[in-house]
């Protein structure tokens, strides 16, 4: 029996088998998680389908109240959940606690008010009402960098809109989500929320299931393509929040020390494992050496270690595959540039990599062109800001981007020409649940958060009456 259960049709159940969950700070298993059989997956989808009509028929206020109760439960258990999150994900405990409390707040502020009926015409004997109807069974799938908050964001929006859910966390970070589901089960009618484990085989089974109406997916672009293909058969609605290779474009009117502080925070948060982390920095000739030196000093001062230890600022990479990938990118980058900032201690075990930069590297190298999703930032020198903008835009991705300048108009003129869904000025990233978030190009499509994101969990229905 695993250390956590799955939630299927209101019951807490074991899986067909268990998998080990590894603590990345120790590089060894510390708990087990269940994996569902195919029959259990079908049962989870069937339970969500059966629960749908009654849940969709509840009032928005009732659904908001149920989600509010889920938020209260998460908050009451925040310390326990945060410890699990740190152990399975690696992030410092203080950040894990922020993620759990943020997830509680997401449940509590879930609101369906934006979905109220709209009368778009009422004259000359014709009345047109636009409605937002829920879709049915929604599958939510997320990556391992913010396992709880990304999942709760999807679940809260799906449920408040009147859908029912089958949720699947990433195989390497299932515990916090399953533990949270065990707790909030009592606040929801049976079948409304189902949460299953995964050994890496479950995603395609859910995304191709004929009774699933919508998929809300966060993960890599490569997997996003597969999800899209699977959704095609039954034309499932789809939101894809995928990878990114966010560029920060620093203009020559910046203060190097200040801008280096902003770049450091934007690149290395969560040890670089943020979809909208700064993944490339374009810095002008005039500031280049100073910005690189400042960044290197900040990297050298970083406290890297086990997230359970007080004072840790940066945890390990979340899993061995990602650790190996980032190490490979660093080895390759060392052939094309100069590594700076990689000095300081590391724990003996675990998937640790210290924050570091690579200077004198340029486009056309793996570290610049690919998404590293780890704590190593290429800093690219430029002479002409128009050329730097063109290089920043020459990417298949288009998630976020930023412009750094003390001149607001100049910054704005570059920001408007960045080809990404979100652009920030003098900060990166800057996300909020009331602000829409959407990737451009191969960073995905569809919107998350805000009213625009909520609408994606619905189908528009127009009722035209002759009266
Ligand atoms: P991944 O695509 O390998 O996995 C993401 C999720 O998809 C996991 O739960 C995984 O089990 C599941 N999955 C794998 N194969 C599947 C399939 N064929 N069908 C359905 N589901 C499947 O991504 P990852 O490596 O775990 O996460 C890192 C990536 O996620 C990075 O590219 C990062 O930028 C991206 N990401 C994007 C956002 C965003 O909002 N845009 C947020 C966080 C992470």
End-to-end CA distance of the chain: 62
Separation of 416 CA from ligand 1 center, angstroms?
29
> What's the 238 CA to ligand 1 centre distance in angstroms?
14
Give the neighbor-by-neighbor strand order of the sheet with 118-123: 118-123, 126-134, 458-466
Which residue puts its alpha carbon closest to atom 42 of ligand 1? 275
Residues with catalytic roles: 241, 275
* pLDDT by 10s per residue, the chain, length 467: 899 999 999 999 999 999 999 999 999 999 999 999 999 999 999 999 999 999 999 999 999 999 999 999 999 999 999 999 999 999 999 999 999 999 999 999 999 999 999 999 999 999 999 999 999 999 999 999 999 999 999 999 999 999 999 999 999 999 999 999 999 999 999 999 999 999 999 999 999 999 999 999 999 999 999 999 999 999 999 999 999 999 999 999 999 999 999 999 999 999 999 999 999 999 999 999 999 999 999 999 999 999 999 999 999 999 999 999 999 999 999 999 999 999 988 999 999 999 999 999 999 999 999 999 999 999 999 999 999 999 999 999 999 999 999 999 999 999 999 999 999 999 999 999 999 999 999 999 999 999 999 999 999 999 999 98
Contact indicator for 451, 435 with CB cutoff of 8 Å: no
What is the per-residue pLDDT across 397-426, written as a single tens digit (0 to 9) for each?
999 999 999 999 999 999 999 999 999 999
**Ligand 1 atom showing the smallest separation from residue 321 Cα:** 25
Give CA–CA dist 24/347, Å, rounded.
11
CA–centroid distance, 398 to ligand 1, in Å, is 16
Distance CA 218, CA 321 (A): 18
The residue contributing the CA closest to ligand 1 atom 8 is 170
Query: Quick check: 313 and 304 in contact, CB under 8 A?
Result: yes
User: How many C-beta neighbours within 10 Å does residue 451 have?
Assistant: 13
How far apart are the C-alpha atoms of 249 and 283, rounded to whole Å? 7
CATH fit for domain 247-425, picks 3.30.70.100, 3.40.309.10, 3.40.630.30, 3.40.50.2300: 3.40.309.10
Burial zone of 11 (CB within 10 Å; 0-12 exposed, 13-18 middle, 19+ buried): middle
Name the class of domain 6-242+441-466.
Answer: alpha beta
Which of 33, 35, 143, 278 has most ligand 1 atoms within 8 Å of its beta carbon, as the pocket-test mutant? 143
Ligand 1 — pocket residues by CB below 6 A?
141-145, 170-171, 198, 200, 203-204, 207, 218-220, 223, 226-227, 241-244, 275, 371, 373, 399, 439, 444
The tokens 């990166």 sit on which residue?
428
Residue among 220, 372, 445 to mutate when testing ligand 1 (max atoms within 8 A of CB): 220
- Domain parsing of the chain, residue ranges: 6-242+441-466, 247-425
Query: Phi/psi of residue 237, each to 5°?
Result: -70, 155
Peptide bond into 139 cis (omega under 30): no
Supply the pLDDT for residue 1.
86
Q: Which residue, judged by its Cα, is nearest atom 34 of ligand 1?
A: 243
Find the 73 Cα to ligand 1 centroid distance in Å: 27
Q: What is the DSSP string of 237-283?
A: EEEEE-----EEEE-TTS-HHHHHHHHHHHHHGGGG--TTS--EEEE
| pLDDT recorded at residue 345 | 84
Classify 96 as helix, strand or coil: helix
Phi, psi of 95, rounded to the nearest 5 degrees: -75, -35
C-alpha dihedral (204, 450, 442, 150), degrees to nearest 10: -40
CA of 273 to the centre of ligand 1 (A): 12
Pocket mutation for ligand 1, best pick of 219, 246, 269 (most atoms within 8 Å of C-beta): 219
């Amino acid at each position: 029996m695993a250390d956590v259960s799955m939630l299927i049709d209101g019951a807490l159940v074991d899986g067909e088998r268990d998998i080990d969950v590894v603590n990345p700070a120790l590089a060894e298993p510390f708990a087990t998680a269940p994996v569902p059989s195919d029959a259990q997956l079908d049962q989870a989808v069937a339970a969500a389908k059966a629960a749908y009509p009654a849940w969709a028929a509840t009032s928005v206020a009732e659904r908001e109240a149920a989600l509010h109760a889920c938020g209260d439960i998460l908050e009451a258990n925040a310390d326990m959940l945060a410890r699990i999150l740190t152990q399975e994900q690696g992030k410092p405990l203080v950040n894990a606690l922020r993620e759990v409390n943020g997830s509680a707040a997401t449940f509590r502020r879930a609101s369906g008010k934006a979905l109220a009926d709209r009368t778009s015409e009422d004259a000359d004997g014709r009345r047109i009402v636009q409605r937002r109807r829920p879709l049915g069974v929604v599958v939510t799938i997320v990556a391992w960098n913010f396992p709880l908050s990304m999942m709760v964001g999807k679940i809260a929006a799906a449920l408040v809109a009147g859908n029912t859910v089958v949720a699947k966390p990433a195989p390497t970070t299932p515990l916090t989500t399953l533990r949270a589901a065990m707790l909030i089960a009592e606040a929801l009618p049976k079948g409304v929320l189902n949460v299953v484990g995964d050994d890496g085989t479950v995603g395609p089974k859910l995304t191709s299931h004929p009774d699933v109406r919508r998929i809300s997916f966060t993960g890599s672009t490569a997997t996003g393509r597969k999800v899209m293909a699977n959704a095609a058969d039954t034309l499932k609605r789809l939101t894809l929040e995928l990878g990114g290779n966010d560029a920060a474009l620093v203009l020559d009117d910046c203060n190097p020390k200040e801008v280096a502080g902003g770049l450091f925070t934007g690149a290395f948060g969560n040890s670089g494992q943020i979809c909208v982390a700064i993944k490339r920095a374009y810095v002008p000739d005039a500031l280049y050496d100073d910005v690189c030196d400042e960044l290197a000093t900040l990297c050298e001062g970083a406290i890297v270690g086990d997230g359970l230890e007080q004072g840790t600022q940066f945890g390990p990479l979340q899993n061995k595959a990602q650790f190996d990938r980032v190490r490979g990118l660093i080895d390759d980058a060392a052939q094309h540039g100069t590594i700076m900032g990689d000095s300081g201690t590391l724990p003996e075990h675990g998937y640790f990599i210290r924050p570091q930069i690579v200077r004198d590297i340029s486009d056309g190298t793996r570290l610049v062109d690919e998404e590293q999703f780890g704590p190593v930032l290429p800093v690219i020198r430029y002479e002409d800001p128009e050329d730097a903008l063109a290089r920043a835009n020459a990417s298949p991705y288009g998630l976020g981007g930023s412009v750094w300048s003390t001149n607001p108009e100049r910054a704005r003129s570059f920001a408007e020409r960045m080809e990404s869904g979100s652009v920030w000025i003098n900060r990166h990233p800057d996300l909020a649940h009331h602000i829409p978030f959407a990737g451009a190009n191969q960073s995905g499509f569809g919107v998350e958060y805000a009213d625009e994101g909520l609408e994606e969990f619905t189908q528009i229905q127009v009722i035209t009456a002759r009266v």
